[in-house]
Amino acid sequence: MSLADPSTWHPKESADDLWNERSFLAGILIGAVAYGVHATLFFTTLSILWKRKRSEWRDYNWIAFVLVLFTISSIANYGQLKFTQMIWIDNRDYPRGPSAYLVEQQTAFEARLVVGGYMVNGWLQDGLILYRFWIIFSGRRYIVALPTALFFGTIAVSTWLMTIISRQSYFEGTGAALLIAYYTLSVALNLFATVTISVKLWAARRRLRDVSTSISSSYLSVSAILIESAFLYTACGIAFLVPFGLGDPFQNVILPTLAQVESIAPLLIIMRVAQGHAWSPSVEDTQFATTSIALSTHRQHGSTQADREYEPHELLSLSMGRNEGSRNSTVKVDRRSTASAYDVEGGDQVFNLSTKH
């Protein structure tokens, strides 16, 4: 090696090994950015949850859930950074280079900490999706049966995988097969949930669009549908699963980000729940019940044309509970004005809904 000859600085490794190392390092850096997004969402969501009135056990459950999710993700992220240090600094002279160390030393404690932590977070993420699926479809067992079976399948396969990686790398043999099986089941669960929830909410959006534009926009915007259906995790899961199944090192670019998305997707859903924007069938039922109220004016025979053209300005106030939130909304039905909504002090909304006859 000569300082005057840069060509001698290159490691004596194959192009495939170098691409494997580059992709792994790029994935770690992108994953660190994703962890920053996760941390920001965690503190934002925790702040929203903490400011709410906590009168039910469910309110404390959400706080505990996001705390556990962030704690496990942070521990796994530490393991990821520590293992990266071991590859390029602590064991830089490992035979056949960092690429070989990356594949052959997945049994190291730090590497197992990463896999174990993100597997547990995967359970929490899939469990939340299953819970929201149950809520959105009103607990219909024939619809929930398939995602429930997939959920327990992911737990069984990932538990088996965590026992295997103490003896062999998940890049080869049984470990690789189990990792593919785990992400296949998890992505299948989320893909099924994404499609069915999106169809359900899109249909509700079409029904509610003529009833209340404000409600349709708040609960059923395109972004709301994508968040509620966990589209982000589904997309990242497919982006990882395809190259991993093909043995392409590009999987290394996606995997650290996918591990953080397991926490980001649930936080986005919980944030909507905390803000009272999460969808449930009661939202649709309330809106249709409100608009079905008929206000009539009794007339006597022999009234004049002026009497028939004049109709009193009638107003009816209703109390409408906000789904999974601690706030209430007031619906005002006015016969002459058009539907509208506005915020009042305390975060409540007042909806003015009326028809002109």
What is the pLDDT, as a whole number, of residue 270?
A: 87
Handedness of CA 38, 42, 43, 48 (dihedral sign): positive
Listed in sequence order, the DSSP H helices in the chain are 15-51, 57-85, 97-104, 109-136, 141-164, 173-209, 213-220, 222-228, 231-246, 251-274, 281-291, 305-309
The tokens for 291 are 């608009």
For residue 260, count other CB atoms closer than 10 A to its CB: 25
**Above 60 in pLDDT, residue 326?**
no
What is the pLDDT, as a whole number, of residue 327?
A: 42
- 176 against 224, higher pLDDT: 176
**Above 80 in pLDDT, residue 294?**
no
Query: To which residue do tokens 């538990």 refer?
Result: 159
What 8-state DSSP symbol labels residue 336? S
Tell me how far CA of residue 91 lies from CA of 12, 102, 105, 169, 293, in angstroms: 16, 11, 11, 18, 74
- 53 against 219, higher pLDDT: 53
Domains and CATH numbers, the chain: 13-278 (1.20.1070), 311-357 (no CATH)
Please provide the distance, in angstroms rounded to a whole number, between the alpha carbons at the two ends of the chain: 91
What is the pLDDT, as a whole number, of residue 123?
A: 95
Residues 200 and 136: beta-carbon distance below 8 Å: yes
- 268 against 285, higher pLDDT: 268
User: Which distant-in-sequence residues (6+ apart) come within 8 Å of 290 by Cβ?
Assistant: 318, 320, 331, 333, 351, 353
Over the range 286-299, which residues count as b (16 or more CB within 10 Å of their CB) and which as e? bbeebbeeeeeeee
The per-residue pLDDT for range 10-62, each reduced to its tens digit, is 777 888 888 989 999 999 999 999 999 999 999 999 999 888 777 777 778 88
User: Which distant-in-sequence residues (6+ apart) come within 8 Å of 9 by Cβ?
Assistant: 1
DSSP of 254-300, one letter per residue? HHHHHHHHHHHHHHHHHHHHHTT----HHHHHHHHHHHT--------
Residues 335 and 313: beta-carbon distance below 8 Å: yes
The tokens for 145 are 């049966």
What's the number of CA atoms in the CB half-sphere (13 Å) around residue 330? 13
Nearest one of 152, 139, 132 to 194, comparing CA atoms: 132
Tell me how far CA of residue 213 lies from CA of 103, 110, 216, 238, 331, in angstroms: 54, 51, 5, 34, 14
Tell me how far CA of residue 247 lies from CA of 51, 109, 176, 251, 314, in angstroms: 47, 24, 10, 8, 69
The tokens for 116 are 């174990």
Tell me if residue 91 falls in helix, strand or coil: coil
Rounded-to-integer distance, Cα 87 and Cα 166, Å: 18
Rounded mean pLDDT, 61-77:
94
Whole-prediction pTM? 0.73
Tell me how far CA of residue 33 lies from CA of 23, 30, 38, 46, 258, in angstroms: 16, 5, 9, 20, 12
The tokens for 356 are 């002109």
User: Which distant-in-sequence residues (6+ apart) come within 8 Å of 197 by Cβ?
Assistant: 132, 133, 136, 225, 228, 229
Please report which confidence band the pLDDT of residue 281 belongs to, taking 50, 70 and 90 as the band edges.
Answer: low
What is the pLDDT, as a whole number, of residue 319?
A: 39
The tokens for 225 are 């549908």
The per-residue pLDDT for range 140-162, each reduced to its tens digit, is 888 899 999 999 999 999 999 99
Q: Which amino acid is at 232?
A: L
**Above 70 in pLDDT, residue 337?**
no
